[in-house]
A and B are shown apart, each in its own frame.
Chain A
Amino acid sequence: MTSEASGEATTTSEAAARTADLGDRGGADPDIKRRKLHVLEQMANRGIFFFTAALVLIAALFIDGFASLENITDVFHRAAPIGIVAVGMTFVVISANYLDLSVVAQVATAAVVLIGVSNNSNIPMAIGLALLIALAYGIVNGVAVGVFKANAVIVTLSTTFIGLGLLRWASGGSIYFGPSDGPIRSFGTTEIGPFPLSMIVLVVIAIGLHFLLNRTTFGFLLKSYGSNRNATRLAGVNTALVVVGAFLISALGSTIGGFVLAAFSNTAVSAMSSGFDFEALAAIIVGGTSVFGGKGSVLRTLLGVVFVSVLTNIMVLSGLGFGYQQMAIGALIAAAVSVDALARRAAGK
């Protein structure tokens, strides 16, 4: 809200705040603690711009094979599904409900439904079915957390198990292969310059969600709820609806992410999305959305996705195996969460 509104009314207090800002940066008083606070806040808020730029630069300079068109396109192909999941899940994180673990089950379900059910002939029906399943996930997760006040981690862990169990039962655990041509295949392979279609879908969704978060009453209530759910309830807000909304958006993101993943890999299997939960979370909090809730940005999540994807790509190119990649994601989450917590502490909150 701050950034959007800043161009409007110019008040004396604003002018004061601007000079204050300048004073802080150009101040003659060399105080370590204050600078530390400043740096931490920067890292928690805007740091992702610099980190991502630096990482890309380092990769381009020192990693063989990174700066090729082929590789960049591949990075985007892999980033898009996780990105779509992450921008949706950002809403759950902002609501101060930690994360939505069930994205793992949802992505796989959407992929299997798209490829397995459509059989390349009835795509609209497959999409419709997958969206209905997303609706069910959003409502079940949202009602359990928003109405019954259950812990989101436990709830979504349960729905992950139920969902994956159902999926394995329904699919018999088999792998579905998509046909070698048709709309799904061509969606998965179309590229405009280095950008696959899926990346453009991600950007469009992110811009839409950015608008939803920053310009609409729903986004406002979500942040308010994430900041203090009690005060928000006592202001007469239907908080259950807000929570259900957050989980619905997360479910929608996971489902579209599942479509995109299936189209790219042209296969679908219930195990294909393992790790999506934490990779999405890493992108979200590296992007500066606070795990304490109430604050966050969809567009910075987008940058977080690029950061995480480039990091993974660097490790792949350097011949570091999956184990190293997992460790890196884990370390990244731990580091980002610590910076978030430290910034709050340093700010005296």
Chain B
Amino acid sequence: MDVVDESDALPEDPSRTGDAIIEARGIVKRFGGAVAVDSVSMAVPPGEIHGLVGENGAGKSTLMRVLAGILSPDRGAVVVDGEELKAGDTRAALEAGIALVHQELSLVEEMTVAENILLGSTPTRAGLIKTGELKRIAAEALDEIGVSVDLDEPIGRLSVALRQFVEIARAVARKPRVLILDEPTATLTPTETDYLLDMLQRLSRRGLAIIYISHRIPEIFRICDRVTVLRDGRHVDTAAISDTRPQDLVDQMVGRQLALDLQTHRVPAEPGAVVLQARGIRAPGVDGVDLEVRAGEIVGLGGLVGAGRTELVRAIIGADLRSAGEVTVAAGGRTRRVAGIRAAVAGGLAYVPEERRTDGLALTMTVAENVALPNRGRLSRSGVLLFRKIADFALGLARTVGLRPPEIRREVGDFSGGNQQKVVLAKWLGRRPDVVVLDEPTRGVDVGAKVEIHRLVKDLADGGAAVLMVSSDLPELLELSDVIHILRDGRIVGTLTAEEADEKLVMSLASGEATVAA
């Protein structure tokens, strides 16, 4: 076990630092007065895959942004090949061979795949873009990670998972020696995750140093050589993976005992009447789907990336236009047809979108304001806001979802990724919705918070809500759903009850290896 002395600015272990490509030495980073990263040191030698784990808000992304020169530390240094890097200089970090794949997607939707891959390092001659060269380098990068996608396709048309791979290609195109990935698998289904993990192992065998952040513990154990645990911005431990057990890791992350396998399926109440009914839904990527969700029921949607799950739920609730099909919601004693999102929300819908930053949150506004948005009706009187009520309401919800820190007057953009996700959930929980549509509800959320969110979703269903959920996280899908529809190419290709479903069956249906009479 390799324990780095955290009280000292310089790590004491020369055997480690000697062969490391990249080293963080006593990094301290504060935001305002709050310490996000507190004297953290770590070192990664070439060819190593180094896992980085910790709860939401532990400081993982902040530390990585310091390494990549995006943030400049308040104290400490980033050392590459024994040489100190200029602090807070992205270009210097890039030139030193550090490439970061952000937790949040950062591609330009209007630009093509090739343009995005070389964004910021576009090859030019006399100010003119060398299109041929651009495409060659982009193709090479995609080739290197073994992903095939049309170079001229605008990013806006790709699924979130494919965009994730384009992000990685973008990092690889810079020929890095250190590749940092911040929760790259949060939206990937098992198949793509497998693919990604294999690819990373391949890259590391060629001498690349990789730092890998994930809340999915099995992934850490599958590919990492060593793992570092952060808690509340502090370094807790760095250990070889062979000396560690999953349970230890979780205990170190949360600083207490937390049962890992709470995954018991709930006993569904007798399902009530049909609340959400969709018939003949057609939209781009969706090819004629019928489904219904009853009161008190959780219906899961499984499938591979590109199967049309997100497109389907967005078409159902009217977030995007549908070319055909009809949706009705029966709640509160009346049945209404849902044409657009506004009618749907007015009729008691809650929608947690796949992309929290573009669709779920106003990042420059406070937690209280974000939470108040869909609840403004009862937080105002004759058009005038009731601030005291808003504060109480938001604080209560922040506690319910375990927001950390529970500061409701802080801008949402200043929270860690997982905590932002909790705000999206909080926003809708307060409405006691009749219909709940969740698209990757625990994306980027840590193990402890995930258990909590699962409990909240079950409570919603037990309280009589009709829940429709997309999840790429197979254990989550299996744990929560009473019924699972498997989608492929925009169609339902199989329907499994909670008793029938298991990981293998879901995956083989999703990939088309098996068929079931639906």
Contact = CB atoms under 8 A, between A and B. Distances in A.
A9 interface: yes
Contacts of A232: 362, 373
6 contacts: A8-B387, A11-B395, A231-B362, A234-B319, A235-B345, A349-B363
Interface stretch (A222-230, A264-272, A281-289): A222-230
Contacts of B72: 33
Contacts, number: 132
A349 B413 contact: yes
A220 B369 contact: yes
Contacts of A231: 358-362, 373
B interface: dominant SS: mixed
Given A220-B372, A232-B362, A234-B319, A22 B388 contact: no
Contacts of A348: 65, 70-71
Given A5-B391, A8-B388, A217-B376, A234 B407 contact: no
B346 A215 contact: no
A1 B387 contact: yes
B406 A13 contact: yes
B388 A9 contact: yes
A234 B342 CA distance: 8
A16 B407 CA distance: 9
Interface string A193-235: 0000000000000000000000111101101100110111111
Contact of B387 (A5, A34, A292): A5
Residue with the highest number of chain A CB atoms closer than 10 Å, among B70, B344, B385, B395 = B385
A215 B373 contact: no
B358 A221 contact: no
B359 A230 contact: yes
Contacts of A124: none
Interface in A323-349: 348-349
Interface string B352-364: 0100001111111
A interface: dominant SS: helix
Contacts of B407: 13-14, 16-17
B33 A19 contact: yes
B384 A215 contact: yes
Interface in A1-21: 1-2, 4-6, 8-9, 11, 13-14, 16-17, 19-21
B366 A228 contact: no
Interface in B32-53: 32-34
A232 B360 CA distance: 8
Contacts of B32: 17, 20-21, 23-24
Residue with the highest number of chain B CB atoms closer than 10 Å, among A6, A216, A228, A235 = A235
A216 B379 CA distance: 11
Given A23-B33, A34-B74, A235-B345, A1 B369 contact: yes
B405 interface: yes
B368 A21 contact: no
B345 A228 contact: no
Interface of A: 1-2, 4-6, 8-9, 11, 13-14, 16-17, 19-24, 27, 29, 31, 33-34, 215-218, 220-221, 223-224, 227-228, 230-238, 292, 294-295, 348-349
B427 A235 contact: yes
B333 to A, nearest CB: 21
B376 A221 contact: yes
Interface string B364-396: 111011001110100010011101101110010
B373 A235 contact: yes
Q: Nearest 7 A-B pairs (CB), nearest first?
A: A236-B345, A20-B33, A23-B33, A227-B362, A5-B387, A228-B362, A13-B407
Given A9-B388, A21-B32, A236-B342, A294 B362 contact: yes
A217 B373 contact: no
Interface string B200-226: 000000000000000000000000000
Contacts of A218: 383
B156 to A, nearest CB: 13
B455 interface: no
A237 B362 CA distance: 13
B351 interface: yes
Residue with the highest number of chain A CB atoms closer than 10 Å, among B71, B362, B363 = B362
A29 B74 contact: yes
Contact of A217 (B33, B70, B362, B384): B384
B266 interface: no
B341 A234 contact: yes
B157 interface: no
Contact of B409 (A5, A227, A234): A5
Contacts of B34: 20
A9 B369 contact: no
Contacts of B383: 216-218
Contacts of A2: 366, 409
Contacts of B395: 9, 11
B30 interface: yes
B325 interface: no
B176 interface: no
Interface in B245-269: none
Contacts of A223: 362, 365, 369
B381 to A, nearest CB: 10
Given A13-B406, A220-B372, A236-B374, A31 B74 contact: yes
B280 interface: no
Given A2-B366, A220-B372, A230-B358, 7 more contacts: A5-B388, A17-B32, A17-B409, A34-B74, A221-B373, A236-B345, A349-B413
